[in-house]
Structures are given as C-alpha cells and as structure tokens.
C-alpha cells in the first residue's frame, strides 16, 4: 500500500506535521481558498482542521478515499459528524489536549467571580475607588459542584481541593470508588444543585445536556449560587441565567462559551455580576501545541487501521483503558478466523469477554470483532464507523457478554454463533511473550500464535498425520514458523494450528485434503 495523503487545512504544531510526514504525504493548505482544500481532498485519506473550516457533506463527498477527519481541539461543531458516519469516515479530536488549560481557566473564572476582579478592574480604570462595592467571598469552606468528572472536571476538582473546598460531582459514567480516590462525593444532579455554592460545568453538549441549566434547574439550587461554564455554549440557558441573577437567586456567573459564537450580544453582557471571556478555555500556547500533536497521532492510528478509543463517532460506551488495544486487535483477527471457518455470516454473533478483560467495556471488543467478520463478507470497505450499519443491513446482530470467571487464562475473548445448523466458536487471548494467540476452535484446544498466514487442519487423531502435512507443506515451499496440535472434545479427532512464513496457495487445499487422515482445512490470510 502506498503512503496516505493527509490534507492539513489549518495551523497545527510543527511536531504534529513532522510525526505525520514519517508515514504520510502531507499537503498544507493553510491560508489557501477552500476550493484548494477541496481539490486536494480528491485523493486524500485524511483531513485535519481546527474550528474555522466547515467540513460539510459536500466536502466529505468530494473525498471518496477519506478515512479520517481530525479536529485539533475538542469541539466538532464545525464538522458534519452524521455525514462522516454515513460515509464510514472516522472523526477524531484531541479531547485531553486542553484539559489543563481549561481547568486553569475555570479556576481563574471562579476566583474572578468570587472576588469581582473584572468589575473592580473596570471601576478603577474609570476613576473610582469603590472598595466597599466589591466585597467578595472566600473559596475555603465552600462546596464546589462539578458537572462532569472527566479529565477537565478531575483537574478542576484537584485544584479546588487545594483551596480547601469540598467537592461534589455528578457524572453517570464515574464510579463512586474512583470518586472516593479523588476525594470527591458523587451525587445525583438534584442533590448537587441543593448543596453546591459554586457549580462548574464540564459536560459535552448533547441533546441531553442542551439547556441543562435553565429556570427549572436553577430553582433547585441554593440561593446565592454561582455558576461557571467553560464547557460548551447551549448547556446554560443565557436568558434564564440572566433572569435568575437579576432576581437575586444566583449571585453571579462566569461564562466562557455561548449559544452562538462569535458572540457580541448576550443577555448576560449587561449584568455586572457576570464575568465573561471569549471562549478562552483552550487558548494557551501549550494547549494548542498539544492539540496539534494529539490529533496527528490519532489520525496516524486511524490510517494504520487502529481503533481510536476517543473517536467522536464510535459508540464505545464508558472510557476504556489503553491496555485494551491489544485485545481490540485480537478481536478483529478472531472475527476474520470465524468467517473463514464458517464461510458465511451468522444471524447472531455472541462476543464474550472473560477474566480481567471483563472489567473493561465490551463495546470496543465487539465492534472490532464485527469489523473482522464483515471484512471479507462485504463489497464495500469496512471501517469501525460503518461496521454496525453494515451488520444491521445484513441481518447480523451482536450479543455482548462479560464473565469474570475464566479457567486457563487471565483474559480471553470468544466469538460464537450458529451457521448452517452448526455452532461455531473461536477463542483467543494475548500473552506477554507470544502476543495474540488462538486458543480454541469449535471445542478444539490449541494454542498457536496468530500469524499473517494461518493454516488450520482437522485430522484423525492417529500417527502419521502430522508428518504427512509437514512433508506436503515442505514440498510446496511453505515453511512452518509455529505449529500446535490439540485434541477435540471427544478425543476422536485433532486439529493442527499452523503459522506459515508465506502465503498458502488456495489451490493446494485440495491436495492437502487428499492426504490420509485429513478431514478439513482452512487457510486464513490475516495481513
């Protein structure tokens, strides 16, 4: 395969460009007319933007080879994610690149709000010395309510603790145990509203969080509460917040993001108790550099065929550990082995994870297995993005099972399903010294490292079969790099798992089957 072409339409850190250039051809269209970018996309595999470039369906359609769109930052409002998903294009961003900068800006706004910094500055510059007007409040002893305990929310909680604040949080994806380790008490949303002196928002903007802070929710809050939003515009109803401040229910607010941006007209702008900044949460040199490097790394992973765990348009459930990646790759390989054995799709595929792996979300594993199974069963390229839609169109459903109990291995993945009246299973694990290992097929226990060229042979459990197969492979020039033999569940037959150094000619399957004692053979090219 040739080098991928990556179009960079907006400025990112040079380190990110340099990293991409090691494996890709990078075309930079920064400052060029949009028509130049669209023209370059005709044969491009990836596009990287910031916030100024609108990536709509027309642009995506103009790039038939596009595999990934990278946003050097968090928000993807300027990208038509639905259109990208329909076209099987992965959308990645840099969700953690601005975490420290956003957390620091949040603390800056909390302090500015508590001590009236902006209003006092403005008053003094206008020639007044109004100390009595700007009496503030201490943070020590106050309760900070954090909505969203992800990376940014966690950093804010840690910094608030240094100010002797009590920290409570709402986040349905965070366990109480993890919160305790952070010194944070998890509450329901209404419980948090009832006790927090200051509420800071660190949630994504979704249909569920749109206008989360409105007149109804503000009514549940403590009198004199202060509200800070350095997340996304639209989570707070600006009109309802302005009215609550005028009524005295809310003591003040600090807002960095707005419903419409750029914003020069908001009901909050005329209220002295409100501190506003023009979306500066990520506006540090460090955050901008980190964003460019992070998105370049994610684009590189996507172009290498890897699953990007932070991809915007992959439904992967709760955050997964990077330690899951070897098992994600294993699941795709098992999917290819399953379909090579079964020859056609099951109506239902059961993906079972066992052992320590069951503590991780199953969704990345099942999605990868689905991609592997569909790879040779579809007439269109299969990606992590379009695999669920392709499966649905072919009547294939997926059942996910987690089971902490496992007999032989610390962690294991098993794929199973009924095809042609026969129940088929493949199972695998990842070992420190051997890497990905195939440990079972249809009840046969084998333990062969998964290689690019894999030959599976079912034979009578009698002397001579192994020798005949070895001689046959030698005669046609196929060198064996690894070979494991395992017995079937009833002991009457055996299976050889053979890793080869070179491709096995498909026409040689018939010759292999002519050997005495050989009952079945399948060759899998994993690539």
Catalytic residue chosen out of the listed positions 105, 159, 232, 453: 232
Q: Which residues contact 132 (CB under 8 A, 6 or more apart)?
A: none
Please give the pLDDT value at position 96.
Answer: 85
Please give the pLDDT value at position 295.
Answer: 94
pLDDT tens across 45-54, in order?
999 999 889 9
Mean pLDDT of 127-134: 93
| Segments making up each domain of the chain, as ranges | 4-95+287-303, 99-276, 315-442, 451-527
State the number of CA atoms in the 13 A half-sphere of 230 facing the CB: 26
232 in catalytic set: yes
**Mean pLDDT for the chain overall:** 92
Mean pLDDT of 337-355: 93
261 in catalytic set: yes
Instruction: Band the pLDDT of 527: cuts 50, 70, 90.
Output: low
Does pLDDT of 489 surpass 80? no
How much of the chain, in percent, has pLDDT values that exceed 70? 99
128 in catalytic set: no
Tell me which architecture the domain covering 99-276 has in CATH: 3-Layer(aba) Sandwich (3.40)
Catalytic residue chosen out of the listed positions 4, 159, 202, 279: 279
Does pLDDT of 348 surpass 80? yes
Strands (E) across 2-86 are located at 4-8, 24-28, 46-49, 68-71
pLDDT tens across 277-332, in order?
999 998 998 998 899 999 999 999 999 989 998 899 998 887 778 889 999 999 99
Q: Does domain 4-95+287-303 have CATH number 3.30.450.20?
A: no
Quick one: DSSP state of residue 470?
Answer: H
pLDDT tens across 473-488, in order?
999 999 999 998 988 7
- Is residue 41 helix, strand or coil? helix
Mean pLDDT of 390-400: 92
How much of the chain, in percent, has pLDDT values that exceed 90? 75
Please give the pLDDT value at position 275.
Answer: 96
Catalytic residue chosen out of the listed positions 185, 191, 243, 261: 261
Tell me which architecture the domain covering 451-527 has in CATH: 2-Layer Sandwich (3.30)
Tell if the pTM clears 0.75, that is, is over it.
no
Rounded-to-integer distance, Cα 224 and Cα 486, Å: 71
Please give the pLDDT value at position 1.
Answer: 52
pLDDT tens across 7-20, in order?
999 999 898 999 89
**Domains 99-276 and 315-442 in one fold:** no
Does pLDDT of 114 surpass 90? yes
Mean pLDDT of 241-262: 96
Just give the CATH number of 315-442. 3.30.1330.90
> Could you write out the DSSP letters of every residue in 301-365?
HHHTT---TT-TT----S---GGGHHHHHHHHHHHHHHHHHHSS--SEEEEEEEEGGGGS-SHHH
Does pLDDT of 461 surpass 90? no
């Amino acid at each position: 395969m040739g080098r991928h072409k990556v179009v960079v339409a907006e400025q990112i850190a040079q380190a990110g460009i340099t990293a991409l250039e090691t494996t890709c051809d990078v075309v930079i269209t920064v400052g060029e007319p949009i028509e130049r970018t669209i023209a370059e996309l005709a044969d491009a595999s990836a596009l990287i933007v910031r916030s100024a470039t609108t990536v709509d369906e027309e642009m995506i359609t103009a790039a038939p080879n596009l595999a990934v769109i990278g946003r050097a930052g968090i928000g993807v409002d300027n990208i038509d994610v639905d259109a990208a998903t329909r076209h099987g294009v992965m959308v990645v961003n840099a969700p953690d690149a601005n975490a420290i900068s956003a957390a620091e800006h949040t603390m800056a706004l909390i302090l500015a709000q508590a001590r009236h910094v902006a209003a006092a500055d403005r008053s003094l510059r206008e020639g007044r010395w109004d100390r009595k007007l700007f009496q503030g409040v201490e943070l020590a002893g106050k309760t900070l309510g954090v909505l969203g305990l992800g990376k940014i929310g966690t950093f804010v909680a840690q910094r608030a603790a240094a100010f002797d604040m009590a920290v409570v949080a709402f986040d349905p994806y965070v366990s109480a145990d993890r919160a305790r380790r952070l010194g944070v008490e998890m509450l329901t949303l209404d419980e948090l509203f009832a006790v927090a002196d200051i509420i800071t928002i660190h949630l994504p903007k979704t249909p569920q969080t749109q206008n989360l802070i409105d007149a109804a929710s503000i009514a549940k809050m403590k009198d004199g509460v202060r509200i800070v939003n350095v997340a996304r515009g639209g989570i707070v109803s600006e009109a309802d917040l302005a009215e609550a401040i005028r009524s005295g229910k809310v003591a003040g607010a600090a807002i960095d993001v707005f419903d419409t941006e750029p914003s020069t007209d908001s009901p909050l702008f005329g209220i002295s108790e409100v501190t506003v900044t023009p979306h500066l949460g990520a506006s540090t040199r460090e955050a901008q550099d980190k964003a460019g490097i992070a998105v370049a790394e994610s684009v590189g992973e996507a172009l290498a065929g890897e699953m990007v765990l932070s991809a915007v348009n992959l439904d992967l459930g709760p955050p997964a550990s990077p330690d899951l990646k070897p098992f994600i790759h294993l699941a795709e390989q098992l999917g290819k082995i399953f379909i090579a054995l079964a020859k056609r799709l099951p109506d239902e595929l059961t993906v079972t994870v066992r052992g320590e792996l069951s503590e991780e979300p199953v969704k990345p594993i099942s999605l990868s297995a689905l991609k592997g199974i569909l790879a040779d069963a579809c007439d269109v390229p299969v990606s992590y993005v379009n695999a669920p839609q392709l499966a649905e169109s072919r009547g294939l459903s997926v059942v996910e099972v987690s089971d902490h109990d496992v007999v032989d291995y610390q962690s294991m993945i098993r794929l199973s399903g009924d095809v042609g009246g026969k129940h088929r299973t493949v199972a695998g694990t990842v070992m420190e010294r051997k890497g990905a290992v195939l440990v079972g097929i249809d009840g046969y226990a084998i333990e062969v490292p998964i290689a690019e060229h894999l030959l599976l042979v079912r034979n009578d459990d009698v002397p001579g079969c192994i020798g005949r197969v070895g001689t046959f492979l030698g005669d046609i020039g196929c060198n064996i790099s690894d070979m494991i033999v395992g017995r079937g569940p009833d002991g009457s037959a055996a299976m050889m798992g053979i890793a080869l150094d070179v491709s096995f000619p498909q026409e040689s399957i018939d010759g292999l089957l002519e050997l005495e004692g050989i009952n079945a053979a399948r060759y899998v090219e994993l690539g």
